[in-house]
Structure 1
Amino acid sequence: MTYRSILAVLDGSPASNAPLQAAFALGRRFDAYLEVLHVRPDPNLSLPLVGEGMSGALIDDVARELEESAKTNAERARRFYEDACRSVDLAPTDAGDKPLAGGFRPVWRSLVGREDSETAARGLLADLIVVARPDPGQDGAYAPALEAGLFETGRPVLVVPPSHQSLMARKVAIAWNATRESTRAAAAALPLLVEAESVTVLSVAESSGGQAPDPARLADYLVLHGVEARSKRVEAQRHAGNELISQASELGAELLVMGAYGHSRLREFVLGGATRDVLTNTEVPVLLAH
């Protein structure tokens, strides 16, 4: 298995340059087709959410602000893409109807609509989806690309914090709890694991006296794929997500691999507690699978 098709979703915020750089690094590493997607919000879809009870003049002002913000983000996202292309001596190329085979091919696709819907549609046939980490300052904020990628495509999602401009993944920590989600995450990370210098499987007992699944089982499975991994059982001294962050930090991990958990609420997906804790607090990229 390898990554031959990568989708990077950029919202145009300053933080979106980090996932773009990580996606470029992965694309070059695996000779992948890379589609860089920016979805410009449709003001007609946004206005009904804010327009109720407003005067006509105020609605016009809000519409103008939304349009200006969308334009700024679209221009910034395109600039990030063009700068990344220049850094590897490639010409910016607009995406066509079919992916380009034969080596690293980064292409640009700009659409108007809903970021979650377009991420779900374009991500179905991506080997890996790359997105920015949600803003930890907005507790509980909806992260459309992340949640659509996780819960609507069935594909792995790499979440990159703003502090990371590439993805080395020489040391990798895998959170293992013997679930479908954590198994899928480990399998999805295999292209990176086989090239890593150090891989550690972590199993966390979430309560005092609780029994953590045996991490050696996953380590034995990884050996079959050419990955030498250590295993470590840990009794959580805090919330499971924070314990994972602490353990990954002690290991010097440059990538954390884990299952993503959540549930549906009024047509939106809500990330589970441990998943949310990790995404909010970690400063290393996280590869997730649901």
Structure 2
Amino acid sequence: MKTLLVPVARHTLLDSVLDTAVLMARRFGASIEGFGLRPALAEYVPVDMVGGMTWVRDEETDLVEARDCGGLFTAAMERHAIARDSADAARTGPRWRWLPDAPPGDGYLAQHARLFGATIVGRPGGGEGAPRMTTLEAVLFESGRPLVIAPPTPPGSIGETVVIAWNGSTETARAVAFAAPFLRQATRIEVLGVDAGMVPGPSAEELAAALNREGLSAQGRTLAAGRRTPGEIFLTEAQEIGCDLLVKGAYTQSRLRQMIFGGATSHILAHATMPVLMAH
């Protein structure tokens, strides 16, 4: 993961997003690219249609705010003593750059994210000023790349103790493949399965054995669900282990089904207190 993308917007988890990106950049000697994320025209609901003045005013405001986000991003990088990237700069060690005046919309974010090893976003929430779920889903479903979700509280570390929330699915297998840079450097890897949450596929123990054949050191176990949901078990076990990165395939069930009945992905997105690497 030598290239990281950070869409910067004014939300309540921005500090955590930036701190998570810095931790990853230091871990992998990566370059961080930031840009100001602003809504596209289609995301506006006009209040006064006369002359289109609402759109003009909002666009100007958003452009100013996106440029202000550049100042916040730059200040954070300088506070963490991350070097600015340039054509003549050394290509080793963490560094950063800012993309000015990027096109608006989550659609642009999803397309641009295809160029990066991972994109870092904040954990969505329902409160005012929280990161938007549409931003996360744009990267998840349309970039073809993994995303790392920063928790509400800035993490102190990432990738030392990795928990894989395994359910045997293709989505989680893909997330594990994307997490390989973390797995190669982790001091502890736990593969957890929940008997009530598996789909047809390999067990947690089989995945751990496969990772061991790759030269890693992983432990696998399958837990009984009892009265708890798989999502609850994954988070409880991860917290007890001291996990600082949870790896999860997203939406093995459909999004609509998870919205109605719940699911492990929805639970983790609502309650995770550690960084989460997801892929679909």
The match for 1:224 is: 213
1:279 maps to 2:277:
no
1:71 maps to 2:60:
no
Relative to the length of structure 2, the TM-score reads 0.83
The match for 2:24 is: 26
The match for 1:118 is: 108
Task: For structure 1, list consecutive stretches of 5 or more residues without a partner in the other structure.
Answer: none
Query: Aligned to 2:38, what secondary structure does the other structure show?
Result: strand
Q: Equivalents in 1 of 2:110, 2:254: separation in Å?
A: 17
Cα–Cα, structure 1 residues 88 and 283, in superposed 2: closer, same or farther, change >3 Å?
Answer: closer
Relative to the length of structure 1, the TM-score reads 0.80
Q: CA deviation at 1:85?
A: 2.3
Percentage of pairs with the same residue: 29
The match for 2:233 is: 243
Which letter maps to 1:187? A
Cα–Cα, structure 1 residues 63 and 143, in superposed 2: closer, same or farther, change >3 Å?
Answer: farther
Q: CA deviation at 1:183?
A: 0.8
Which letter maps to 2:207? L
The match for 1:255 is: 245
Which letter maps to 1:78? G
Q: Equivalents in 2 of 1:128, 1:37: separation in Å?
A: 15
Give the root-mean-square deviation of aligned CA atoms.
3.4
The match for 1:157 is: 147
The match for 1:185 is: 175
Q: Equivalents in 1 of 2:249, 2:82: separation in Å?
A: 35
Deviation string, structure 1 residues 206-225 (Cα, Å, up to 9, x no partner): 27x99995211110111133
How many residues matched? 273
Cα–Cα, structure 1 residues 227 and 238, in superposed 2: closer, same or farther, change >3 Å?
Answer: same
1:40 maps to 2:29:
no
Which letter maps to 1:35? E
Cα–Cα, structure 1 residues 221 and 213, in superposed 2: closer, same or farther, change >3 Å?
Answer: closer
Cα–Cα, structure 1 residues 21 and 142, in superposed 2: closer, same or farther, change >3 Å?
Answer: closer
CA contact (8 A) 1:119 1:148 kept: yes
Query: Aligned to 2:153, what secondary structure does the other structure show?
Result: coil
Q: Equivalents in 2 of 1:38, 1:245: separation in Å?
A: 32
